[in-house]
Structure 1
Amino acid sequence: MMQTSFRRRAMALAASVAFIALSTSASVAAEVYRTPPAPIAQILDSPQTPGVAVSPDRKVLVQLGRENLPSIAAVSDPILRLAGYRINPRTNGPIEARANWMNSLAFEDVATGKVRPVSLPAGARFIAPSWAPDGSKMAFVLDAKTGLELWVADVKTATARKVTEPVVNAVFGGGYSWLPDGSGLLVQTIVPGRGAPPVASTTPTGPTVQESKGRASAIRTYQDVLTNAHDEALFDYYFTSQLTRVSLADGKATPIGQPGIIASASISPDGQYLLTSRLKRPYSYLVPANLFPTEIAVSTIDGKPVKMIADRPLADTLPPAFDATSTGPRSVDWRADAPATLVWAEAQDGGDPRKKVAVHDSVFMLAAPFSAAPTKLIDLDQRYRGIEWGKSDFALLTSRWWQTRAEKRIAIDPSKPGAGRVLLERNYQDRYNDPGRPVTRRDAHGEELLHFTPDGKAVFVFGDGASAKGEFPFVGRMALADGKTTKLWQAEAPYYEAPVGLADEAGKTVITRRESAKDAPNYFIHAVAKGAKAKPLTSFPDRAPQFAGVTKQTITYKRADGVTLSGVLYLPAGYDKAKDGPLPLLMWAYPAEFTDASVASQTVDEGNRFTRPGGISHLFLLTQGYAILDNPAFPIIGQNGAEPNDTYVEQLVADAQAAVDAVVAMGVADRDKIAVGGHSYGAFMTANLLAHTRLFRAGIARSGAYNRTLTPFGFQAEQRTYWEATDTYTKMSPFTYAPNIKDPILLIHGEADDNQGTFPIQSERFYAALKGAGATVRYVTLPNEAHGYRAMESTKHTLWEMVEWMNKYVKNAPKRDAK
């Protein structure tokens, strides 16, 4: 008996060794970072175009110099991944890959065009620039050797000075806000004397245990959650902050209240009260910090407790539906047009949108001194999405319902709570009939208020102006009486010109960002009156002139069921169809779900947009002789209550077939040399198309998810769980059909992917399945990269991989056998 048992164990071991040998027989190699061919690397190395921001008084335009992509060394700095956040322990702020660092600022006078650079310390880099309420100063957070410092630049003198030592705690964001009167700032600081960070013991004190006692808890797959007691200790250490009021006059720092894990803090418009959200234990190992138990409370500006608004428990039992929400007060904020009045929403359906009730949300108000009962402002049959405040008798409330993509904009009279007037109802995916978004202006306290027309009968709006002929942004006025929008100014061909801000209180002049197919984006100011001449405010150059000869056009075509589709066709510089004939082509796409076929069919010509690639853009392949069909429409439509994903594969294949037929019929693409690619959900699409069609010679799938059983509580626009839609999950998973993939596929994934659902194991397991099925597949993992790749070395290597893959398996591939 013992011999038989031993023999079985030996045979099992031999089988395991054989399996391991087979598993490692494919090529595995340590690579060095590669550089893509010219001119891709040269474009990536060129300086970034500055960003701009208009001051609240509309007199100044700040130009913010932007750093180029960080090095892999910078991206590889120590990172702590705690409760859904990634932080740099050196700075107690965001990691390199999450921060868009700036390295210069200059103030430009809008009236004269004079530009005055602000002198900063050598090598300075900063984040989180913010205007003072009156526009006289700009604050920002500067990276110092031992942490983050708060600085302020003065517009009048064009000088900057340090306001705090490196004590800013920016784990939750910028780490500061202006006081309403501009006399100082409210800063979240590192707790003085906090000591050294906790050190993990090498000897465990016991197992890590999680337990659920009969509560339904359909939780989506989150990244970077806490995993043990040491993570909890690190979270407490780095995320605890002390609110501090810092005076600009003398630099005096005054602590406010007690330290805590303060996720947010805001001051009432009158400067008398403070609203805070504090996280507390028990923490969770399944959900991020925004779902931890939370106390929302009001104190005096000096930190004395006044009113507890909400004591929310751990929100780990929400229904999986997208409009699901926690019970009790949520979205608590100050009413911008009142001295000190709180506004919040509360679900009336238990937080479950699937319940059939007349009222899903109610909105409440409570004014200082916060001792009375809350006043109900309005009941809603959709989910509350926010209020834009205007004046005592007018505000604009927005509600939405995800299941139908429906939106309402409701006029309310805050002085007469209880009802509202629906100004418009729309499908918020409908681009053609978008009435525009209301324009706001900042008052003396820095609060954003609706910008009314001089007659008080309308509010100004900025709209995208989408149509089949193109997108031509506009300035308009929306009547308070009926919600109808009248256009006052609109961009005209050949320009795409988007309003950035009104340049005067009466709305007679506007600052715009103008571009065309040939003109790089720059900022202008001109009168709203028709025919007014525009005055340039900036003259930023084209950072990639090598791209100037590329041509593009929006093409439209029909799906087999009659749905109109579109995409942007790019052709390389110097291409001549008569001489050069059909080209190898890359189709790069990302599916989208709709509830209305007519909305899904909308197409907008992009011929007036200035296109230059950056980062890991697939458009760089145009420099290598490829045509690209960019963002071809891949609608997945569910009408009359049907779930779109129940026919996902069928619609995906129909979308792809229509796109391929269109570019081949135009004579610009060789049917035998077309590839498909995408990032994230586009990678998922790519794998599915290779599994269910032979339309493509190869595929490129970056940072995707391929096995939906690993995201069992919903993904993308799917709100049902795996057990509610098992067949759909199975059919949508390309992992299920790995043996069907006969064409080469390139898998790229960041080793530190932080996106919900696209854990690196998705690509790892998909690669194993493809390799086991005998597919031609290459699997590249990028060290220390998240869902989007940031390091210059990673960016260049990704583009090198894409070019090499396309050259080998598409451009230079032998003719494929007839199928």
Structure 2
Amino acid sequence: MQKTLLLAASLWLSLLSFSLLATAVDTGYREPASEITAIVDAAPTPSASLSPDGLMLLSLQFPALPSLADLAAPEHRLAGVRLNPANNGPSQPRYIAGVTLIDIASGDSRAIKGLPANLKVIAAEWSPNSRYIAVVQLDDNQSSLWRIDTKNATAKRWGKLQPNAIQGARLEWAANNEELYLLAVAARRGAAPVATKVPAGPVVTEARGRTAPARTYQDLLKDQHDEALFSHYFSSQLLKISLKNKITNIGKPALIRSFSLSPDNQHILVNRIEPPFSYAVPLFRFANSTEVWNLRGEVSYTVANQPVADNLPIAFDAVVTGPRSVSWRSDAPATLHWAQAADGGDPKNPAEVRDQLWQLAAPFNAEPVKLLDMAFRFRNLLAANASTALVYEGWWQDRQEKVWLVSPDGSAEPRLLWQRSTEDRYADPGRPLMTTAANGQRLLRVEQGQLYLTAVGASEEGNRPFIDKFELATGNTERLWRSAAPYYEYPITLLPSGKLLTQREAPTEPADFYLRDLQSGELTALTNTPHPMPHTLGISRELINYQRGDGVPMSANLILPSGYDAKRDGPLPTVIWAYPREFRNAAAAGQVADSPYRFNRVSYWTPQFLATQGYAVLDNATMPIVGEGEVEPNDNFIAQLVLNAEAAIAAGVSRGVTDPQRVAIGGHSYGAFMTANLLAHTNLFQAGIARSGAYNRSLTPFGFQSEQRTLWDDPDLYLAMSPFFHANKLKTPLLLIHGSDDNNSGTFPMQSERLYQAVKGHGGTTRLVMLPLESHGYRARESVLHMLWETQSWLDEFVKNATPAVAP
């Protein structure tokens, strides 16, 4: 007992000393060099939404970074979801801060009058006829519904209801263009539950022999008060509102997770959360019911009652055993389709048929009809009409995908169109264009028996997007157009006019929308985005290719300072930024995954910003971890990391831009894990930057990243891959940065805190920066600027000012 008390006291004192040490280091938010701050404050790249009739674009402008005060808004963390109780919206949402209508034929733009002055739109939905756009505005203390009239470019608030926007504010227009369906806060919802000062009793969970492995999750329910809060905030009233502001409630308030109107508008598919609630898994694994409601909110058919999914195998292809992926067939009046496992949901079970695809038409009183037996897992169904639909199936274990042509009406046997490796980007045939029917349903676009396929067009020379015409009967492909140097141009859709709507950019030109005449090649600009950071125009970016020691091809974006000349200026201090990725095929691992013609928007999220301070940067340096046949990728994780790092450094040195004695390595999340491992197992670097990583894999014992084996399956693997257990070797200066409210699975803030203590305890050089109010990605302007200041200061001290290599 005395030893236990002494141990506890020792632990308490060590934690106290850590706390005192943390407060002893200089505090307060700092800012980097002004050139870097200007990069952070540059206007975000705008986007756009195409109207269903293809005649208008809704240009979307996004805000600058929020402030710490914005992040300090009220927040509840319930069932894996973070919400703002003041406005019943998501916590710290990303939103649209400005909208403009653009006429595609003329290129004319129109400002929209009547919108809130402080616009914060988190959802927007076109009506099927393109006349209206419904939007959800999020204010500090409420959410509200607004309607934009595209005819006169005006907006007004739509009713006095409050959308329940916690899960994204789904909006669905009726086919008549006069009614909108949505989830709202119940008009008579009472006050939120208040926690009692005295607990009602202990929190008890138990296990009785039922296997229930699970990966690490955060923000789970933890007690009865959390359950009460969950029921309060997630309860919604499904309703419809007319253009004349008439509100019709559909059923009673319920814990509705999602809903979908049938194409004929006579039924509603509803997914409801069912109690009891789990303390072990997040919302998406809670017990739930999938039902068909009539327009009065009465249940007319129950598709599935799923228990809490807390006992799924941890393999990536594991699924629940009942109906899943339930949806309406978009080409039919009211026909459901769903997938169902035929192998017990466990990919380890041997089976020729893994999944089956079923359909059932209204009035839902017949036996379901099987559409397809699948050797893989169902992924998606895209329907054009009763005789034509595409079914996608995939198997993660082998990185395989199949695409079938099926006839939902049974008029033809299913036919395999293609099977491919999802790792083989060069062989990707693309994804089909869709079209919007008069009732608002999205349909597969089929014209004279042909599909249109678009893809990024990966190739050895970089991504070159294309649009193809694919003949369903023969499988023949005709290339209609492909992006060409010196531009990166992506095809969005073929418009009714026959012209191609694209988004085009170049290294010195931000992305803009264009109309391209496929016959003449004539281009018409629809938008004209100014360069957001002209002071970076001289910074160069080159997509370079190289090989690692075993012959696997690799690539990186080489970023160099403005005016730099290797022969004149000599090699530079260099920062390599990367993120490891697992592959089952060495050839696929080496494929180029970028384009040399993308807009050179100097990033602050990766170290590109350091080019303003005289650094060379190898950004997005590929870090393939390959395992072929019976060998898993992580079986040789460390050895392959070292090969990758050596190759990246050699690539910079061979070009005369990298000083091998002044190189740093860095990464975020799994890239931080990579960084700590490389510093522990090599002497290649002078410093490391590790942001929001996980370093002790025993804290993620049921798998991590793409690893499916558990700690108990292969404890040696977990220990070998964990830099925490090699902290005694971490002597290279390591900067650790972490959001104090990180909610990403596995990357608990404790991971960085414990690694810091371990390195410090072994006499290493390290610094720990915990960013208040920040999650896995840092958002507040103050946090981002401080992160950049820390990064620049650390690298200047240990890399830039290190002793340069002696010229041969």
Report TM bin, short chain. over 0.9
Residue identity in the other structure for 2:742: D
1:745-784 matches, cutoff 5 A? 745-784=734-773
Distance of 1:378 and 1:552 partners within structure 2: 48
SS of residue matched to 1:152:
strand
Shift of 1:143: 2.1
Shift of 1:602: 1.2
- Alignment deviations for residues 567-593 of structure 1 (CA, whole Å, 9 cap, x no partner): 111111110111110000000000111
8 Å CA contact retained: 2:169, 2:182: no
1:399-418 matches, cutoff 5 A? 399-416=393-410
1:47 is matched with which residue?
43
Distance of 1:17 and 1:134 partners within structure 2: 66
SS of residue matched to 2:398:
coil
8 Å CA contact retained: 1:375, 1:417: no
Aligned residues: 804
Q: Which runs of 5+ in 2 are unaligned?
A: none
Shift of 1:18: 6.9
8 Å CA contact retained: 2:687, 2:799: yes
Distance change >3 Å, CA 418–CA 76, structure 1 → 2: farther
Distance of 2:7 and 2:212 partners within structure 1: 39
Distance of 1:91 and 1:302 partners within structure 2: 28
SS of residue matched to 2:250:
strand
2:503 is matched with which residue?
513
- Alignment deviations for residues 84-126 of structure 1 (CA, whole Å, 9 cap, x no partner): 1111111101112xx2222221111111111110022322322
1:262 is matched with which residue?
256
Residue identity in the other structure for 2:707: E
Shift of 1:21: 7.2
1:566-585 matches, cutoff 5 A? 566-585=555-574
Residue identity in the other structure for 1:525: L
Residues 1:447 and 2:436 aligned together: no
Please, which moves more after superposition, 753-762 or 48-57? 48-57
Distance of 1:14 and 1:734 partners within structure 2: 27
8 Å CA contact retained: 2:659, 2:804: no
8 Å CA contact retained: 1:392, 1:415: yes
2:381 is matched with which residue?
387
- Alignment deviations for residues 177-202 of structure 1 (CA, whole Å, 9 cap, x no partner): 22232211112111122111101111
Residues 1:661 and 2:650 aligned together: yes
The match for 1:459 among 451, 458, 471 is: 451
Distance of 1:86 and 1:484 partners within structure 2: 49
2:701 is matched with which residue?
712
Distance change >3 Å, CA 584–CA 272, structure 1 → 2: same
Shift of 1:25: 7.2
Please, which moves more after superposition, 659-668 or 376-385? 659-668
Distance of 1:808 and 1:760 partners within structure 2: 26
Distance change >3 Å, CA 145–CA 785, structure 1 → 2: closer
1:486 is matched with which residue?
478
Shift of 1:50: 2.5
- Alignment deviations for residues 658-709 of structure 1 (CA, whole Å, 9 cap, x no partner): 1111211221000010000000000000011001101110000000000101
8 Å CA contact retained: 1:379, 1:418: no
Distance change >3 Å, CA 25–CA 80, structure 1 → 2: closer
Distance of 1:436 and 1:775 partners within structure 2: 49
The match for 1:437 among 431, 437, 447 is: 431
1:92-241 matches, cutoff 5 A? 92-96=88-92, 99-119=93-113, 120-241=115-236
8 Å CA contact retained: 2:693, 2:738: yes
SS of residue matched to 1:499:
strand
Shift of 1:65: 2.1
Distance change >3 Å, CA 384–CA 9, structure 1 → 2: closer
2:87 is matched with which residue?
91
Residue identity in the other structure for 1:551: S
Residues 1:495 and 2:487 aligned together: yes
Distance of 1:423 and 1:108 partners within structure 2: 38
8 Å CA contact retained: 2:577, 2:606: no
Residue identity in the other structure for 1:485: T
Shift of 1:302: 2.2
Distance of 2:279 and 2:610 partners within structure 1: 42
Distance change >3 Å, CA 461–CA 34, structure 1 → 2: same
2:713 is matched with which residue?
724
Q: Normalization by structure 1: what TM-score?
A: 0.96
Distance change >3 Å, CA 483–CA 210, structure 1 → 2: farther
Distance change >3 Å, CA 13–CA 330, structure 1 → 2: closer
Distance of 1:584 and 1:436 partners within structure 2: 40
The match for 1:474 among 466, 474, 495 is: 466
Please, which moves more after superposition, 515-524 or 334-343? 515-524
Shift of 1:44: 1.9
8 Å CA contact retained: 1:217, 1:317: yes
1:299-318 matches, cutoff 5 A? 299-318=293-312
8 Å CA contact retained: 1:138, 1:153: yes
1:534 is matched with which residue?
523
Q: Which runs of 5+ in 1 are unaligned?
A: none
Distance of 2:576 and 2:422 partners within structure 1: 27
- Alignment deviations for residues 724-748 of structure 1 (CA, whole Å, 9 cap, x no partner): 1211111111111111111001111
Shift of 1:468: 1.1
Shift of 1:485: 2.9
Residues 1:627 and 2:627 aligned together: no
8 Å CA contact retained: 1:469, 1:605: no
Distance of 1:433 and 1:586 partners within structure 2: 32
8 Å CA contact retained: 1:380, 1:399: yes
Distance change >3 Å, CA 621–CA 155, structure 1 → 2: same
Distance of 1:815 and 1:622 partners within structure 2: 18
- Computed over aligned residues only, the root mean square deviation of the Cα atoms, in angstroms, reads 1.8
1:788 is matched with which residue?
777
Shift of 1:606: 2.4
Distance of 2:614 and 2:426 partners within structure 1: 35
Shift of 1:814: 4.0
Distance of 1:699 and 1:614 partners within structure 2: 19
SS of residue matched to 2:134:
strand
2:363 is matched with which residue?
369
- Alignment deviations for residues 315-348 of structure 1 (CA, whole Å, 9 cap, x no partner): 0000010000111000000000000000000001
- Alignment deviations for residues 19-78 of structure 1 (CA, whole Å, 9 cap, x no partner): 567656745336211111121112322333322111110100111221111111001111
Shift of 1:433: 1.0
Distance change >3 Å, CA 706–CA 20, structure 1 → 2: closer
Residues 1:683 and 2:672 aligned together: yes
Distance change >3 Å, CA 584–CA 667, structure 1 → 2: same
Distance of 1:417 and 1:588 partners within structure 2: 54
Distance of 1:717 and 1:12 partners within structure 2: 37
Shift of 1:257: 0.9
The match for 2:539 among 550, 565, 589 is: 550
SS of residue matched to 2:509:
coil
Distance of 2:26 and 2:53 partners within structure 1: 56
Distance of 1:35 and 1:794 partners within structure 2: 9
Shift of 1:145: 4.8
1:334 is matched with which residue?
328
SS of residue matched to 2:588:
helix
Distance change >3 Å, CA 247–CA 739, structure 1 → 2: same
Residue identity in the other structure for 1:519: E
SS of residue matched to 1:122:
coil
Residue identity in the other structure for 1:593: E
Distance of 2:4 and 2:335 partners within structure 1: 73
Shift of 1:544: 1.0
Residues 1:589 and 2:578 aligned together: yes
Distance change >3 Å, CA 103–CA 603, structure 1 → 2: closer
Distance change >3 Å, CA 16–CA 192, structure 1 → 2: closer
